[in-house]
Amino acid sequence: MANDVSRCNISKWRLLRMTLRCMFFQSSWNYRYFQGLGWTVALLPELRLLYSPDKLPLVVKRYLKYFNTNTFLAPSVAGATLALELDQCRGNSPPIAADAYAEAIMAPVAAVGDALFWGGIRPFCSCLAVALAAYNFWWSPLVLVVLFSLSALIFRVLGAWIGYQRGAAAIEVIARSRLADVAMVLKRVTVVMLGGLCAVLVHSGD
């Protein structure tokens, strides 16, 4: 099945490159596969490493279908998926097929990721930038861009590594991280910050 059993290994450098490819998920978004084409492209170089040319088309066909998840947590799904493919490449029997695993967890990961990034981190960073702008800090827009981008990058890189290391158990790591609770805390802090900012602005206008 594998191209060469001795080469059935995915280095940190390959994981990093896979993570970078995951950043372009949305560039090939379409109504048939949603992120499916970008998802397949992100995995393709590693699939080429694991499978011989005659097996590769069938493997790619398994992934070229509907896929839709949060783009910032997608590398964790990709890392876990590659770990399961690698397990199969080595002749083991993974607890679940790699493509079936990705299909099963994409929706829960999307729910957690959307709540954390779009409902938690982005509003918090935006509120912080607005608060700084209220005090005439010209660089306040950079706070939003830098903090949000840095958060996304950390989750992408660490997520890919953790997903690859834990395999099918990666979803348990995400669940234990209680990211939904983190998002809720950020929402509450953001509301408090907005309330304080409104009070300051109203008072300064008197």
Q: What is the pTM of this model?
A: 0.90
Q: Give the chain's radius of gyration (CA, Å).
A: 20
The structural domains of the chain, with segments of one domain joined by +, span 5-204
Each residue's pLDDT tens digit, 138-187: 999 999 999 999 999 999 999 999 999 999 999 999 999 999 999 999 99
CA distance 23 to 26: 8
Nearest to 98 by CA among 151, 51, 134: 51
Let me know: does 155 contact 73? Beta carbons within 8 Å. yes
- What tens digit of pLDDT does each residue of 120-148 get? 999 999 999 999 998 888 999 999 999 99
